[in-house]
Every structure is written in C-alpha cells, then in structure tokens.
Amino acid sequence: MDKPSLAVLGTGVSFQNPESALVSSLECGFEWCDMQTELLPPMLRRRTSMATKLAFAAAERACSSANIMPSELPVIFTSSLGEIGVTDKLCSAIAHQQLPVSPTQFHNSVHNTASGYWSIAVGNKHPAMAMAGYHDGFALALLEAWSQLHTIEKTLLLVCYEEIPPQLLLPGNQWIGCASAFVLAAEQPAGENVARLSMPYCDAEMRSDQRYGDQSPALAAMPLLKAVEQNVSGTVQISPAEDGAWFTELSCP
Amino acid sequence: MQPLFVTAYTVVTACGMGKKPLLDALLKQRSSLKSARMIKLDFLTYTGEVESALPEVRDDLKSYDARNARLALAALDCEDGMFRKAVIAAAARYGAERVGVIIGTSTSGIYETELAYQADLSTGMLPEAFDFKHQHAWVATAEFLKKELELRGPCYAISTACSSSGKAIAAGQRMIETGICDAVVVGGVDSMCHLTLHGFHSLELTSEQPCTPLDQDRNGISLGEGAGLLLLEREATVDTSASLVGYGESSDAYHMTAPHPEGAGSAQAMRSALAMAGLQAGAIDYVNLHATGTRLNDQSEMRAMASLFESTTPCSGSKGMTGHTLGAAGAVEAVITLLALEHAFAPGTCGIRHVDSEFNNRVLTEPVQLPDIRYVMNNNFGFGGNNVSLIFAKEATDG
C-alpha cells in the first residue's frame, strides 16, 4: 500500500477502576490495564490527579511496548475535561471563600498538567501539545498527530485520557476513567511489519450505534486499540456519531 | 514549511474592540490596566478588563453563552464585521468543510462554572442557563465559533496555559500544509475569572501596581482578558498584509511554574522558528516578548534572547498595556506583531521606567518607526515549561 499512513509502534491502556463491572462490560480483554507507573515520582504521585496518573500509566506502557525512550518522543495529550477534579475543588473553595487557594492545586488545574509533568518526569524537551475536543477528541488528536508526522516530526506519543467528572458538573454521568496511548511514526521501521493507519476522516452522513462516547470520550480510542491488539484490519470507528463520525482504515501485517 | 497567508485578523482587548483602538494604544503607549473591578478581591491588583458591552449570543446557540463566547463574538463582529466577512468569503471559496477552527484557551468558560457554584451555594441549585459542556469544556469556544461561522472543518481547542494560542496558530499551519484544510480560523480567547486571579495571587506572582515588564523594579503580573483571531489561508487575497513563515515549539522539562533559569527551552523554540523560516536571527526586525513582568520570567526570556540575538534587535513587551491575557496572549500578541508589520513600527513597553540593566538586548521603552520592517517574532511561554515562537513576514500589498 503506497498511500500515506501512520505506523503504530506501541500501545498502552489504563483504567481508573479496572475491576469494575462497567470496565468488564467493555470486554476489552486488555492485560496490564491497571494504574502502575514507574515514571511518576512518589511525591508527585501523592499530589497529582487521577487524570494525570491515568495518562502516565498508559503513556509509559506505550513507550515500553514500542521500546522507545519516553524522552525522545514529542507528545500530544488530549482530554475533553482534563483536570476537572482539581478544577471542581478550586471552584468550590472559591465559592466558599476558602482563600487563598492552594498554589499547587492552581498550577495542577491547567489543562497541560499531565503533559507538563510528563515532560519534566521523563526529561522531554520536545514540543508538548495539550488539546481538547469532546466526543471527537481522540479522532482530532489523531488528525493532529497526522499533521505533525507529515510536517515536523518523525515519531510521537499520543495520549487520550479522561477521569470521572464530578456529578455536580455532569449530573448522572457514568463515565469510565481511562487512558489510551499510541506511539506513532510516519515511516514503517526498517525490517519490521507493524499496523498502519490511514488519515482519519469524517463521514458527516454516517451514523452508527457505537456508544462508547456516552461513557467517556476517551473510550473512543478503545475500538482502535482492540483492533491493533487483535490484528484485525479494516475500517475502525474512532468517534461516536454525534456530529458525523470519524474513521480510520487499519492495515495489520 | 509552506508559508501561509494571514488574510484577516481581529482582536478584542482592554484597549477596546478591534485593531484600531489597540493600534492607537500602542502608538500612544496608553495602558488600559485599572484596579480590578469585575471580580471583588481581598487583595490589590490591576487588570485589563474589556469594559465595553459584549454582544449577545444568538438564540440557537444560547447553550454556548459564556463570557468567552461573547469575547469571541465581539472579535468577529467589531470593526464592521471585517473578520467574519473574510471567513465567509474563504468558506465560499474553499467549501465550509475545508475551513477548520483551532482555538487556544487556558481556562475556557470557568468563569460561568464559578458563578454557577456560587449560585448553587446560595440557592441549592445550579442556574438553569448553566451548561457545563457547552460553556466550560475546553473545546466550547472553538465549537461555538465553528457553529457561529457555519464551518464544517476540523475543530479543536489547544490548552497549554499561556502558550495555547501561539500553538493554535502553528497547528493551523500544519492543517493546511498537510492538505487537511485550505483555511483555518486560529487564535485564542480567555476571560477574567476568579481562579486565575486567586491562583496567581497565591503563587505570589501578581503585582499590586500595574505590571511593568522588563523594568528593573518589576514585581509581578497584571491579568487581562481578550480574544485574538487570525484567518490563515493557502492562497493570498487582496487584503493580505502578512504571512506566517515559521514556528518553533519546545518544552523546558524543568518545572511546572518556574521558567528555566537560562531560558534554554524558550531559546530552543526561537531557534526552531528561525530554522523553519530559513532565517538568521539578524533578519528579525522586532521581537514581541512574552515579558510577563515577574522577576524570573523576564530574566529567563532575556537570557534566551541574549543567546540568540545581537544587542541591536528591537524587542518589547505588551502586557503593561493589555494585561496578561493567558491563553489568548499568543493570539493577541500575534495581532500586535501584525499591526507592527502593517504600520511599519515597533511598539514600546508600556509602564517601563528603567530597563533592567542585566538585559543586553535593545528593549524599546517607546514605539519606534521601522520603515523597512519585514520579519517579526512573537514569543509565548506557559506553565509546564511549554514554549512557542512564531515568525511573520510582511507581504507587499501592491504585489
């Protein structure tokens, strides 16, 4: 296949509550989806959010499965709500006039908290993108990866993560806290045969029953993770069909 | 890289609605910082608040109604709706599905969430008009602009604190170079909110006076709010006055809030931008610095400048005039460099009295005429050690 594509060099996944019934109902069959991370220093581990821990765990696994040093990879972190737990606490403290706010919580509330800590923890001086969509956030991050890998970068790490948001902000939500990560490259590595992705595309007319997005926008990455893991080529839906659905063509070796 | 044309740009800041009031303020070096008014505080600080009434969000998009959305709407419609007209023309030329939206924001509609929490505390319920997903989720403002402008291309937000909208401009370039889009609305929007005022105060980074970036006695930041939008296109139009010719991005890998002492990461971003543009540092006629006004930020940036530029390169900071507009700063200050190109001058540094004697570069205390201005650089650096530097070039309007 001569068409431009992205090579998948490594993947990782993590869940906030890997043993929960909701996660089991996904039937992912992933191994190693817990929250273990070596790269998050113990002091930071105590102080950082679930979102950042999830992102670290998945990112670390993707790098080790690709056998690439994390310090060598530019990163794209995507999350629709990012550090929403910390933000909720700060807004609540402000409403209750519990001032001054915690300076640590304040800087841990920025959307690029996870990508910032990642670059510091692994000593990564490459560009770090922190972006947000909503239901189509994973697909758009893949598009951003595509644009970077066909202009300025050769290899990069993409992390899509979401913690469970507070009920006050999204009443009745049943989100599953999870993260997935992919090490992607513009070129197939020499002597290796790996899975390849086409450019993500949006079909505005296409509707389907993919329901992952209702449980968390980050789950939109799961069908692709699963297809790569199980070596199944074909069209993979990478966003629920809210405002048109996004797809990519996966070619497995 | 493929240079892209800036076919329209617009801005809303404390200086006023549109490019004209900002240009006037730059030329007369008039600060818009005043003692904080919009939000009641138990400490002293100055802010750059947008005081004019903001336009209302139309009925079918009411769920997006937030101060951020209104600032964005004001930027579309100020000065005769010039920017909106340019976007509509681009969508007609290329097709609405070929025009994307990439917006930088640091706090999105958190102001509405803050108000909602206060209401919840006093009444026991969130206000009926509060819509977290469409007002505060980080993509809200970008999605609002996409719907308001009836565009159908890719749409997302970038949120890397104070480098957000500089990075949005870079991302827009990539979308066009790779053929995903033919035009992209890029920029940034951020509004005043309790969180950033209290947060920067608790980090002891706010000044009790109007901030004085690059001054020997500088002692912190003044926050601002605003919106800046650029229309990047593959092809030039008759109104094109500038092109984006390079960008550079990097991470400090040093500290969440403190800059690298020698400015290693910011120097790397500037070096990458120069390399992408195929320019030597000496070709840059003016640098708009990030220059927040904290002791460490300005020192770090000026050390990075000294490692790259001759001492003759004019540079200045704008936050003494507009306040630090955080996620919008990259776009607001890109607009300032575009105004400098279009009107052949370099702005001074509002509020400065004595340039810090440690700085070896030509810090402009007042605006200067630059008849031959050709290339300008714009720097923005954020929490997490996230850096971006952009280079714009003047396009001859007479062909």
Written out in words, the top-level CATH class of the domain with range B4-394 is alpha beta
What is this model's ipTM? 0.97
**Any CB–CB contact under 8 A between B44 and chain A?**
no
pLDDT tens per residue across span A88-127: 999 999 999 999 999 999 999 999 999 999 999 999 999 9
Q: Report whether B347 contacts B364 (CB < 8 A).
A: yes
Residue B258: CB atoms within 10 A of its CB come to 15
Q: Report whether B334 contacts B236 (CB < 8 A).
A: no
Q: Report whether B338 contacts B279 (CB < 8 A).
A: no
H helix intervals, B101-192: 110-123, 132-135, 140-148, 164-177
Q: Is B395 helix (H, G, I), strand (E, B) or coil?
A: coil
Residue with tokens 């599905």: B97
How close does chain A come to B151, measured CA to CA in Å?
A: 12
Q: Report whether B259 contacts B297 (CB < 8 A).
A: yes
Q: CB–CB of B253 and A169 under 8 A? A: no
Q: Is B180 helix (H, G, I), strand (E, B) or coil?
A: coil
Q: Report whether B127 contacts B341 (CB < 8 A).
A: no
Q: CB–CB of A144 and B171 under 8 A? A: yes
Q: CB–CB of A94 and B117 under 8 A? A: yes
Reduced to 3 DSSP states, what percent helix, strand and coil does chain B have, rounded to the nearest 5? 40, 20, 40
**Any CB–CB contact under 8 A between A87 and chain B?**
yes
Note the CATH number of domain A10-193: 3.40.47.10
Q: Which residue of B has its CA nearest to A125?
A: B251
Q: Which residue of B has its CA nearest to A110?
A: B161
Reduced to 3 DSSP states, what percent helix, strand and coil does chain A have, rounded to the nearest 5? 35, 20, 45
Q: Pairing between strand B242-251 and B386-394? A: antiparallel
- Which residue from A95, A103, A204 is facing B203, i.e. has the nearest CB? A103
Adjacent-strand bridge partners of A183:
A10, A157
Terminus-to-terminus CA distance in chain B, angstroms?
A: 22
Q: Parse chain A into domains and list their residue ranges.
A: 10-193
Q: Parse chain B into domains and list their residue ranges.
A: 4-394
Q: CB–CB of B120 and A127 under 8 A? A: no
Residues of B in contact with A106 (CB under 8 A): 195, 198-200, 202-203
**Any CB–CB contact under 8 A between A140 and chain B?**
yes
C-alpha B141/C-alpha B362 separation (Å) is: 38
Residues of A in contact with B139 (CB under 8 A): 80, 132-134, 137
**Digitized pLDDT (tens) for each residue of chain B, 399 residues in all:** 889 999 999 999 999 999 999 999 999 999 999 999 999 999 999 999 999 999 999 999 999 999 999 999 999 999 999 999 999 999 999 999 999 999 999 999 999 999 999 999 999 999 999 999 999 999 999 999 999 999 999 999 999 999 999 999 999 999 999 999 999 999 999 999 999 999 999 999 999 999 999 999 999 999 999 999 999 999 999 889 899 999 999 999 999 999 999 999 999 999 999 999 999 999 999 999 999 999 999 999 999 999 999 999 999 999 999 999 999 999 999 999 999 999 999 999 999 999 999 999 999 999 999 999 999 999 999 999 999 999 999 986 544
Residue B22: CB atoms within 10 A of its CB come to 27
B positions 130-189 inside 8 Å of A (CB) = 132-133, 136-139, 143, 152, 154-161, 167, 171, 174-175, 177-178, 180
Residue type, B380: N
A positions 1-40 inside 8 Å of B (CB) = none
Tell the burial category of A42 from Cβ atoms under 10 Å away from its Cβ (0-12, 13-18, 19+): exposed
The residues, any chain, with a CB within 8 Å of residue A4's CB and separated by 6 or more, are A150, A199
**Any CB–CB contact under 8 A between B128 and chain A?**
no
How close does chain A come to B343, measured CA to CA in Å?
A: 32
Q: Which residue of A has its CA nearest to B273?
A: A152
C-alpha B166/C-alpha B380 separation (Å) is: 7
Backbone angles phi, psi at B203, to 5 degrees: -80, 0
C-alpha B334/C-alpha B356 separation (Å) is: 25
What stretch of H or E contains A207? none
Residues of A in contact with B118 (CB under 8 A): 95
C-alpha B378/C-alpha B160 separation (Å) is: 16
H helix intervals, chain A: 21-25, 42-47, 50-66, 84-95, 103-107, 113-122, 137-149, 212-215, 222-229
